[in-house]
Amino acid sequence: MEQVGIITPAARPSPWGLPAKPANQCSLAEVMSEELARELQLQEEHHVFPSQDSSNDGAFVTAENIDTSSDEVLAQMLQMQFDKEHDAQLRREEKKFNGDSKVSISFENYRKVHPCEDSESSEDEVDWQDTRHDPYKADKPTTTPKKGFTGKGKDITTKHDEVVCGRKNTARMENFAPEFQVGDGIGMDLKLSNHVFNVLKQHSISEQRRSARLHDKKEVSTAEKVVDPKTRLLLYKMVNAGVLDTINGCVSTGKESVVFHANGGSMEDQAVPSECAIKVFKTTLNEFKNRDKYIKDDYRFKDRFSKLNPRKIIRMWAEKEKHNLKRIEKAGIPCPEVVMLKKHILVMSFIGKDQMPAPTLKEAKLNLEDSRVAYYQVLTLMKQLYEKCNLIHADLSEYNMLWHDGKVWLIDVSQSVEPTHPHGLEFLYRDCRNVSQFFQKCGVSETLNERELFNLVSGLNIASDNQADFMAKIEALEKVNEDHVQNHAKKISTFQKDDDGPPPLFNE
């Protein structure tokens, strides 16, 4: 730099006495720039390490002993600090989110500073990766490295460092299943090699599976059990995407499903109700085996059924409930409104208020007046279901109708079928019998008997005054219908070999 205005004693002697000692001559500009540089340096260091105090766990390098000359190292340290802060915040959020809930959701996958990561691939990976509203999406690695110290600098400890990795492996044993005994290893300065760690991990996993199998045998089915890690992940993703705000307690553990209450969030293209019900179809239970017939003989599923494994069949139940609910809603029958379906999880509006589900007709203990009101609603509802939705509930009873706001609401329609189903009319007859018996018990004097109700709903005029004969006639009708359907299908396949593929699976 050009030196201007150099002032020396010789050039301008002091008029008041001895000239000042011409010690260490240097330019003002130099003095200024040096001071400035020092100041800036201090400021910068303070900025980079604002809290190098006791709150830090000590594992982090301090400002004094680090060589700050390399921008790369600085950048990586910054990244590390940033990642750690992110993780700390995440832990706080996780704690807040889970509270004392029995069912907890882990945010582990969103941690930035993972101890030596390894990737596991599963045969049934969750393929729903909707990260549109994922608040962490922006932080997910695209160009920025995920971890602070992964570069190749000479003083950098990488995740492949044997000692560090060994310690981290030891710490990771904490993540094994709680029943897996890991001894005091975690508290000691034990270093596990990757190989040993992997063997232990594998063993822990197989132990977990074995104990799950034992549970299966005992047929213990609890809310916790149905919320397996994959379900938990799907639920977490719904929260993460903002569709749901919070997932609250379990409303019911039914035969085929577990229902939770949730506070609704928001979606771009659809309003989300403030209170939602999450129906998680059980993926582990035997119940579905007994119910094959509902889906196997439903022509809408016929082609798909034979090729599917049990897990996929259960997803189909959820799918079926969704489509049926949409049809029912379209016909103006009070029922839950579908919010979204992800695999075996169906989110719908919650029938009830302030986390209290509406009572079923069974639980509602209606007085005679309300019972009568309810009865006429059920008559209308059954007729509309048959005529407008072309559906038969197939599990209609006082347990699957809720009483809310002075209205009867229809729920649990995963098994509902079309009247042309090979056993559709039998299902309708059973529904009619349940309804008639219930309202008779309630004391509603005008209750039709099941055969009258059947004729009213179906528009068929089966003349018979006893149950056995009536059933025989229903079965005969089903047989005629079945033959008719088969002939029709044969004709189609003979004459339309080159059609445009199968008809749509559902007509909503």
Site residues for ligand ATP per CB under 6 A: 251-252, 254-257, 259, 277, 279, 336, 348, 350-352, 357, 360, 399-400, 411-412
As a residue count, the chain comes to: 508
Closer CB to ligand ATP, 252 or 437, in the complex:
252
Contacts of 468 (CB under 8 A, 6+ apart): none
* Per-residue binder mask for Mn ion (CB under 5 A), 348-387, x = binder: ----------------------------------------
Measured distance CA(422)–CA(428) in Å, rounded = 12
Tell me if 380 sits within 8 A of 388, measured CB to CB.
Answer: no
Q: How far apart are CA 433 and CA 423, in angstroms?
A: 16
Is residue 79 within 8 Å of 145, Cβ to Cβ? yes
- Of 413, 415, 391, nearest to 400 by C-alpha is 413
Q: How many CB atoms lie within 10 A of CB 350?
A: 28
Residue 160, Cβ neighbours under 10 Å: how many?
10
Nearer to ligand ATP, 360 or 377 (CB): 360
Question: What count of Cα atoms within 13 Å lies in the side-chain half-sphere of residue 328?
Answer: 29
Q: How far is the CB of 399 from Mn ion (least distance, A)?
A: 6
Q: Which does 360 bind (CB under 5 to 8 A by kind): Mn ion, ligand ATP, none?
A: ligand ATP
CB atoms within 10 A of CB 18: 8
**The dihedral sign for the CA sequence 389, 394, 397, 402:** negative
Comparing every residue's Cβ against ligand ATP, the nearest one is 254
The residue whose two tokens read 């609704």 is 264
Identity of the residue, 250 or 448, whose beta carbon is nearer to ligand ATP in the bound complex: 250
Beta carbon nearer to ligand ATP, 150 or 252: 252
Residue 167 has which token pair?
């310690």
- CA gap 52, 43 in Å, rounded: 14
Out of Mn ion, ligand ATP, none, which partner does residue 348 contact, by CB within 5 to 8 A per kind? ligand ATP
Question: 299 or 399, CB closer to ligand ATP?
Answer: 399
> Could you tell which of Mn ion, ligand ATP, none binds residue 432, using a CB distance below 5 to 8 A set by kind?
none
Which of 83, 319, 412, 450 is in the footprint of Mn ion by CB under 5 A? Answer: 412
User: 60 near 88, Cβ under 8 Å?
Assistant: no
Site for Mn ion in 385-404 (CB under 5 A): 400
Q: How far is the CB of 413 from Mn ion (least distance, A)?
A: 9
User: Both tokens of residue 300?
Assistant: 């809408």
> Between residues 77 and 247, which has the closer beta carbon with respect to ligand ATP?
247
- In three-state secondary structure terms, 257 is strand
**C-alpha atoms less than 13 angstroms from C-alpha of 464 in its C-beta half-sphere:** 16
List the catalytic residue out of 395, 431, 483, 499.
395
Using the rule CB under 5 A, give the single segment among 77-85, 360-368, 408-416, 480-488 that binds Mn ion.
408-416
Token pair in block for residue 92: 């706080």
Q: Which is nearer to ligand ATP, 226 or 382 (CB)?
A: 226
334 binds, among ligand ATP, Mn ion, none (CB under 5 to 8 A by kind): none
Q: Which does 237 bind (CB under 5 to 8 A by kind): Mn ion, ligand ATP, none?
A: none
Shortest separation between residue 317's beta carbon and ligand ATP, angstroms = 10
Q: CB of 279: closest distance to ligand ATP in angstroms?
A: 6
Among ligand ATP, Mn ion, none, what binds residue 351 when CB lies within 5 to 8 Å by partner kind? ligand ATP
Partner whose footprint covers residue 352, from Mn ion, ligand ATP, none (CB < 5 to 8 Å by kind):
ligand ATP
- The amino acid sitting at 405 is D
CB of 397 vs ligand ATP, minimal distance in Å: 9
Catalytic residue at 483? no
Among positive and negative, which fits the CA dihedral 433, 435, 439, 445?
negative
> Residue 349: which residues within 8 A CB-CB, separation 6 or more?
273, 275, 276, 277, 336, 337, 339
> At its nearest, how many Å lie between ligand ATP and the CB of residue 396?
11
Q: Does 79 bind Mn ion (CB under 5 A)?
A: no
Task: Name the residues annotated as catalytic.
Answer: 395
Q: Please give the residue ranges that form the binding site for Mn ion (CB under 5 A).
A: 400, 412
